[in-house]
């Protein structure tokens, strides 16, 4: 292992907004240039010596030279890099960003892709581009450093032969950039296969360079990479579920071929690494993590440095000083002109937080003009840019860092053009595929705020239009759209400054305070713009406050202070501890992705809630959905007006139910999870009170499982048309399918092993068992609501039969097969519930309930089949997982 390998100390950040997730299947073999194959020598023939490289001058004759960090030479379709002896085995920064895509299923242009600390290594006549493994380290010169070098491998990204003899002036050699970079370094063959289930391969022969540039600070090369697949598989004769069958790309003239643009940036690492600032888990910053094996005295090997920009006062003596170098965001020339001012204001809103810690104009915004030739995708221009896609409806704020210190080197905010083109429409109207088909399940590598906010805005605009508050093309609607774009930009800029989500911040203000425009204009609508904030809609008759947040919240000031406040080195540890110790202040409440999406079911950490009583907020939101449905059912369209608007409003109502219900379920067995350190007097884990859990159960059963939970006028349902010109549009509407999807998702959560486990475990965290909700109460409440007709003798309509079958499916499954995570008490209670249900079904079929004669034949057949299913399940031997 070369000494320089040991000199690179800290890890590349693997955080969501620092770079895309690590790409699997990066090629570990050299990609050869597209040249005729030299025939192998005949067996037994003498092996010829390899031809000596051509003279340097001969290769570059007639080529254009671009001096810079790496000197470039270009002649026709060929580009060469000149690598001097001192440039080998020296680490530098490389980023690869996707400049152009195909506009569907996650393959979009204008996206930050990956970065690495790399170096060129010369092995005989071959030059390798090596990604250095900087995550694991030890002090240089120690035996531990040798063990680390032996224990953890670097990675080969690509390789190319030396193309020339040394340059007489400087001794540099040429390497053909075509051979080096016409390789799948970004790992897009895997991404394409994941999206389309087709084995696309990079085709060097038909790839080419676009713009190239080089100066002392950076060398940039734009590659037009051709990917292809020899054939497209025939469409299956039998329709397959979308989870199994992924159709070929439909945005391409020919789905067998596509060009993707990649912008490669090579630039030196900062000569002097910025001092790293230790992270604190009570505040949400993205971090660069490394593992230090130097000694075994520390309890842990890991260290976490806050990801942040280098920001230093020009005059440290002044209380308020301009920075030596501000954080500059370039607005790309592809941003629609009408939105540029809102985008600018969204970026500059963060200056308020920096002013509080002594920086004047810490952030500067510049506009790229139409005549500018530089690409904002290069590694030297933090940018905001628009991107287009037929199924794109999200914004994203990634950044790339120096792994030695956590210094942010570049950031590119991507904003889907749906915000400008169709900000007033539901995102799903412009999408043909769901998140599952896109491979966009939640993880920290992705911010879904924009996509989810598009649904929020669609619901809000439809409700306000239905109320007659304003028309879609009115000045009020335009002002709201501008405010909405500004708020999304504020959120994404926060990510590029190093801040993670804060999904607890929405709980710090009361619903009454949120109705006061003066209050929210001063304090914000939430504790942080890093939350996913819904539109602040008033219930009809209440005072309407600001619709979207307009200023930073108190948490944002706190998080910026911790990351960026200038502190003398000898005082830093104590001062950071003092800042972080404020974590128990109510206005600084913090909870992030782990609490919202992970195994901890904390009902105080949610996306798209508002106010200090989430249950009350959710109840209001469901009431608004029903209000919208009621208005849709009585709405009369103008002659010639499309029925598409009715369908959109109808679906918006369901989108709110789909968002609210999973969060309400979190109260059942819910546990508040705080990140406090010792001394605050608050426990880390506290079960939600039994009263709140029962209130949540009541909210669920009343809105999802009651016999009259969903009733729609047939006249309205029969008019729910859509865009008949869309080939993929399903013209008919099944209200029962919409309803069953909501109910099934709620049943999955309520009857899951994790919920059962949390309820059983909560007994250990309270001093009296009655302070915890019993698992038996949960099962009984759900079963009674789902099968309520068994007690009343009323008929069971098709929606109710569907719901009961879904519940029965889960009950029977619990009897037939037990997973490793199923608790013994849960298994016993489920069997007891099954026996009770069997008795009730028998009573409804053969008993003397009032009104039992009103059961339809369909209902009787359904109950008879359900009874038989339960009987067989109760008799069957249980399949135990792992047995």
CB of 395 closer than 8 Å to CB of 492: yes
Asked if 125 and 262 sit in the same domain, the reply is yes
Asked if 446 and 573 sit in the same domain, the reply is yes
Mean pLDDT of 760-767: 84
Q: What pLDDT is recorded for position 25?
A: 35
Say which residue, 463 or 867, is predicted with more confidence: 867
Asked if 215 and 283 sit in the same domain, the reply is no
* Rounded-to-integer distance, Cα 705 and Cα 803, Å: 8
Say which residue, 379 or 465, is predicted with more confidence: 379
Out of 548, 582, 600, a domain closes at: 600
Domains identified in the chain, total number: 3
* Rounded-to-integer distance, Cα 155 and Cα 132, Å: 7
Band (pLDDT 50/70/90 cuts) for residue 8 is: very low
pLDDT digits (tens, 9 = 90+) for 258-305: 999 999 999 999 999 999 999 999 999 999 999 999 988 888 889 999
CB of 800 closer than 8 Å to CB of 789: yes
Average pLDDT, the chain: 87
Structure tokens at 702: 């009343």
Indicate if the pLDDT at residue 741 is higher than 50. Answer: yes
Q: What pLDDT is recorded for position 508?
A: 97
Residue 691 lies in a domain: no
Residue 81 lies in a domain: yes
How does DSSP classify residue 123? E
Asked if 204 and 278 sit in the same domain, the reply is no
Residues 431, 432, 434, 438, CA torsion sign? negative
* Residue 288 Ramachandran class (φ > 0 left, ψ -120 to 50 alpha, else beta): beta
Mean pLDDT is highest, among 31-40, 263-272, 811-820, 838-847, for 263-272
In sequence order, what DSSP letters do the residues of 332-392 get, joined into one string? PTTS-GGGHHHHHHHHHTTHHHHHHTTBSS-EEEEEPPTT--S-TTSTT-EEEEEE--TT-
Residue 503 lies in a domain: yes
Out of 600, 628, 660, a domain closes at: 600
Q: What pLDDT is recorded for position 14?
A: 31
CB of 18 closer than 8 Å to CB of 399: yes
Q: Give the strand pairing for 671-673 and 685-687.
A: antiparallel
Q: Give the strand pairing for 257-267 and 92-100.
A: antiparallel
Asked if 326 and 249 sit in the same domain, the reply is no
Angle between helices 798-816 and 735-750 (to 10 degrees): 30
Least confident of 250-254, 394-398, 668-672: 394-398
pTM of the model: 0.88
Look-up: residue for tokens 């999406």? 597
Report the percent of the chain where pLDDT is more than 90.
66
Residue 610 lies in a domain: no
Paired residues of 111 in beta bridges: 98
Out of 251, 267, 283, a domain closes at: 267
CB of 184 closer than 8 Å to CB of 211: no
Asked if 281 and 407 sit in the same domain, the reply is yes
Q: What pLDDT is recorded for position 452?
A: 65
Q: What pLDDT is recorded for position 472?
A: 73
Residues 344, 350, 355, 361, CA torsion sign? negative
Mean pLDDT of 352-378: 96
Band (pLDDT 50/70/90 cuts) for residue 24 is: very low
Band (pLDDT 50/70/90 cuts) for residue 47 is: low
**Boundaries of domain holding 828:** 787-880
Indicate if the pLDDT at residue 748 is higher than 90. Answer: yes
Structure tokens at 456: 């929020």
Look-up: residue for tokens 């950039």? 177
- The SS3 of residue 809 is helix
Say which residue, 572 or 26, is predicted with more confidence: 572
pLDDT digits (tens, 9 = 90+) for 145-182: 999 999 999 999 999 999 999 999 999 999 999 999 99
Band (pLDDT 50/70/90 cuts) for residue 601 is: confident
Asked if 247 and 373 sit in the same domain, the reply is no
pLDDT digits (tens, 9 = 90+) for 71-102: 999 999 999 999 999 999 999 999 999 999 99
Residue 664 lies in a domain: no
Asked if 69 and 125 sit in the same domain, the reply is yes
Indicate if the pLDDT at residue 306 is higher than 90. Answer: yes
Asked if 126 and 252 sit in the same domain, the reply is yes
Residue 681 lies in a domain: no
Band (pLDDT 50/70/90 cuts) for residue 600 is: low
Compute the residue count for the chain. 883
Indicate if the pLDDT at residue 729 is higher than 60. Answer: no
CB of 77 closer than 8 Å to CB of 209: yes
* Residue 106 Ramachandran class (φ > 0 left, ψ -120 to 50 alpha, else beta): left
Residue 541 lies in a domain: yes
CB atoms within 10 A of CB 636: 5
Residue 472 lies in a domain: yes
Q: What pLDDT is recorded for position 722?
A: 72
pLDDT digits (tens, 9 = 90+) for 503-561: 999 999 999 999 999 999 999 999 999 999 999 999 988 999 999 999 999 999 999 99
Asked if 248 and 279 sit in the same domain, the reply is no
Contacts 24+ apart (CB under 8 A), 702-709: 703/622, 703/657, 703/661, 704/661, 704/742, 704/743, 704/746, 705/743, 705/746, 705/782, 705/785, 705/786, 705/803, 706/785, 706/788, 707/788, 707/789, 707/794, 707/800, 709/739
In sequence order, what DSSP letters do the residues of 813-865 get, joined into one string? HHHHEE-TT--HHHHHHHHHHHHHHHHHHHHHHHS--TTGGG--HHHHHHHHH
Least confident of 126-140, 423-437, 490-504: 423-437
Indicate if the pLDDT at residue 643 is higher than 60. Answer: yes
Q: 813 to each of 750, 754, 778, 821, 832, how far by Cα in Å? A: 15, 16, 18, 14, 14
* Rounded-to-integer distance, Cα 159 and Cα 17, Å: 29
Q: What pLDDT is recorded for position 849?
A: 53
Indicate if the pLDDT at residue 309 is higher than 90. Answer: yes
Indicate if the pLDDT at residue 779 is higher than 50. Answer: yes
In sequence order, what DSSP letters do the residues of 721-775 get, joined into one string? ---TT-TT------HHHHHHHHHHHHHHHHTSHHHHHHHHHHGGGSSSGGGS--H
Mean pLDDT of 397-415: 94
Asked if 215 and 304 sit in the same domain, the reply is no
Q: What pLDDT is recorded for position 864?
A: 96
Asked if 97 and 138 sit in the same domain, the reply is yes
- The SS3 of residue 143 is helix
């Amino acid at each position: 292992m070369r000494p320089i390998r040991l000199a690179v100390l800290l890890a590349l950040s693997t955080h969501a907004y620092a770079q895309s997730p690590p790409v699997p299947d990066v090629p570990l073999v050299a990609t050869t240039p597209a040249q005729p194959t030299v025939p192998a020598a005949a067996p037994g023939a003498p092996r010829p010596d390899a031809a000596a490289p051509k003279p340097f001058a001969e290769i570059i004759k007639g080529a254009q030279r671009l001096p810079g960090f790496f000197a470039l030479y270009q002649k026709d379709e060929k580009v060469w890099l000149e690598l001097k002896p001192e440039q080998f085995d020296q680490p530098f920064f490389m980023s690869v960003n996707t400049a152009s895509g195909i506009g569907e299923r996650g393959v979009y242009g204008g996206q930050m892709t990956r970065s690495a600390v790399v170096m060129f290594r010369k092995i005989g006549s071959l030059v390798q581009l090596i990604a250095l493994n900087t995550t694991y380290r030890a002090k240089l010169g120690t035996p531990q450093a040798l063990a680390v070098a032996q224990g953890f491998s670097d990675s080969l990204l690509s390789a190319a032969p030396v193309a020339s003899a040394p340059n007489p002036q400087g001794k540099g050699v040429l390497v053909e950039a075509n051979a080096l970079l016409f390789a799948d370094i970004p790992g897009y063959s895997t991404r394409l296969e994941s999206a389309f289930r087709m084995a696309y391969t990079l085709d060097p022969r038909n790839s080419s360079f676009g713009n190239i540039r080089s100066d002392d600070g950076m060398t940039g090369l734009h590659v037009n990479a051709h990917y292809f697949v020899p054939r497209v598989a025939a469409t299956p004769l039998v329709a397959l579920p979308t989870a199994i069958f992924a159709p070929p790309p439909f945005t391409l003239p020919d789905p067998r071929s596509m060009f993707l643009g990649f912008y490669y940036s090579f630039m030196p690492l900062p000569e002097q690494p910025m001092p790293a600032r230790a992270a604190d888990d009570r505040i949400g910053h993205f971090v660069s993590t490394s593992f230090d094996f130097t000694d075994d005295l520390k309890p842990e090997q890991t260290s976490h440095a806050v990801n942040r920009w280098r920001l230093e006062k020009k005059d440290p003596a002044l209380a308020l000083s301009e920075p030596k170098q501000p954080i500059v965001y370039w607005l790309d020339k592809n941003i629609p002109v009408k939105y540029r001012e809102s985008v600018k204001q969204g970026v500059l809103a963060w200056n308020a937080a920096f002013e509080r810690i002594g920086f004047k104009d810490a952030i500067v915004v510049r506009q790229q003009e139409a005549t500018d030739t530089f690409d904002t995708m290069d590694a030297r221009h933090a940018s905001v840019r628009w991107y287009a896609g037929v199924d794109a409806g999200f914004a994203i704020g990634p950044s790339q860092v120096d792994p030695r210190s956590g210094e942010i080197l570049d950031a590119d905010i991507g904003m889907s053009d749906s915000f400008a083109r169709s900000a007033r429409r539901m995102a799903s109207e412009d999408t043909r595929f769901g998140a599952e088909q896109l491979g966009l399940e939640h993880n920290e590598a992705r911010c879904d705020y924009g996509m989810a906010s598009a649904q929020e805005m669609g619901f809000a605009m439809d409700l306000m239009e239905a109320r007659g508050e304003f028309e879609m093309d009115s000045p009020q609607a335009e002002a709201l759209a501008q405010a909405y774009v500004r708020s999304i930009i504020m959120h994404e800029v926060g990510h590029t400054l190093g801040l993670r989500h804060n999904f607890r911040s929405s709980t710090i203000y009361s619903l009454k305070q949120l109705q006061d425009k003066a209050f929210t204009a001063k304090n914000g609508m939430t504790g942080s713009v890093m939350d996913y904030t819904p539109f602040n809609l008033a219930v009809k008759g209440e005072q309407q406050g600001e619709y979207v947040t307009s200023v930073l919240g108190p948490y944002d000031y706190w998080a910026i202070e911790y990351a960026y406040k200038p502190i003398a080195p000898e005082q830093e540890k104590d001062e950071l501890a003092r800042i972080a110790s404020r974590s128990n202040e109510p206005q600084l409440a913090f909870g992030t992705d782990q609490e919202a999406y992970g195994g901890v079911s904390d009902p105080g950490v949610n996306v798209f809630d508002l106010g200090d009583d989430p249950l009350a907020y959710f109840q209001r939101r469901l009431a608004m959905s029903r209000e919208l449905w009621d208005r849709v059912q009585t709405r009369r369209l103008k002659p010639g007006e499309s029925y598409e608007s009715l369908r959109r409003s109808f679906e918006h109502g369901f989108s709110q139910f789909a968002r609210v219900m999973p969060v309400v379920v979190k109260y059942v067995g819910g546990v508040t999870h705080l990140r406090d350190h010792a001394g605050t007097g608050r426990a880390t884990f506290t079960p939600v009170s039994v009263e709140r859990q029962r209130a949540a159960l009541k909210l669920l059963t009343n809105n999802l499982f009651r016999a009259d939970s969903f009733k729609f006028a047939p006249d309205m349902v029969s008019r729910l048309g859509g865009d008949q010109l869309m080939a993929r549009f399903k013209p008919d509407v099944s209200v029962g399918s919409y309803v069953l999807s909501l109910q099934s998702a709620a049943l999955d959560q309520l009857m899951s092993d994790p919920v059962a486990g949390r309820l059983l475990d909560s007994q250990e965290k309270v001093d009296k068992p009655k302070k915890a909700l019993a698992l038996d109460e949960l099962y009984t409440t759900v079963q009674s609501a789902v099968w309520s007709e068994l007690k009343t003798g009323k008929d069971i309509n098709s929606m109710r039969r569907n719901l009961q079958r879904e519940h029965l499916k889960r009950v029977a499954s619990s009897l037939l097969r037990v997973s490793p995570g199923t608790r013994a008490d849960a298994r016993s209670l489920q069997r007891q519930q099954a026996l009770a249900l069997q008795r009730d079904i028998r009573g409804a079929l053969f008993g003397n309930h009032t009104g039992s004669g009103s059961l339809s034949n369909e209902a009787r057949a359904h109950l008879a089949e359900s009874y038989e299913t339960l009987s067989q399940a109760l008799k069957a031997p249980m399949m135990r997982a792992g047995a």
